[in-house]
Amino acid sequence: MREQPRGEALLACARRLLRDQVLPALPAERRHALLMSINAMSIAERQLANGDQPERQELAELQGLLDDSKVTLADANRRLAREIRAGRGDPGQAARSAIFTQLRAQGRRRLAESNPKALPKAAR
């Protein structure tokens, strides 16, 4: 068993300390770097909380879309990109709706980790 608090709680604590105590003491020209670090910590915290579920879900969806249960996540994304470039997602193509549904779901999951405030409240 891991020690308590867990990694995501430690990141949250460190992020709050940096934001509340260190950031106000920094000169304006140094704040951007700290804000970027705080943002990176927030993303890491959300990724730890989510575990590998978003990637497993994306892989399952892509495997279904590509009709290939053995493809890896990276290969599935490359293959989907090739198929889009080849016109499979163009108007009039049978796969267009499924491709757009997949890309929207993938985008929402990525935004939920990287910038959840950019999502409408109902999608959070």
On whether the CB atoms of residues 43 and 113 are closer than 8 A, the answer is yes
d(CA 15, CA 29): 20
Domain assignment present for residue 122? The answer is: no
Same domain, 75 and 110: yes
Domain assignment present for residue 88? The answer is: yes
Domain, as residue range, for 43: 7-50
Domain assignment present for residue 90? The answer is: yes
Q: Look up residue 43 and give its two tokens.
A: 């993303």
Q: How many degrees, rounded to 5, is the angle at CA 116 between CA 113 and CA 117?
A: 155
d(CA 72, CA 3): 33
Domain assignment present for residue 124? The answer is: no
Q: Look up residue 96 and give its two tokens.
A: 């267009």
Q: Look up residue 97 and give its two tokens.
A: 């709706």
DSSP state of 117: G
How many structural domains are present in the chain?
A: 2
Q: Per-residue pLDDT averaged across 78-84, rounded?
A: 97
What is the predicted pLDDT for the residue at 96?
A: 96
Same domain, 33 and 13: yes
Domain boundary among 35, 50, 65: 50
Q: Look up residue 102 and give its two tokens.
A: 């997949």
For 55, 58, 78, the CA distances from 71, given in Å and listed in that order, are 13, 12, 10
Same domain, 45 and 67: no
User: What size, in residues, is the chain?
Assistant: 124
E runs forming strands in 17-76: none
Band (121; pLDDT cuts 50, 70, 90): confident
Domain assignment present for residue 35? The answer is: yes
What is the predicted pLDDT for the residue at 18?
A: 97
Band (124; pLDDT cuts 50, 70, 90): low
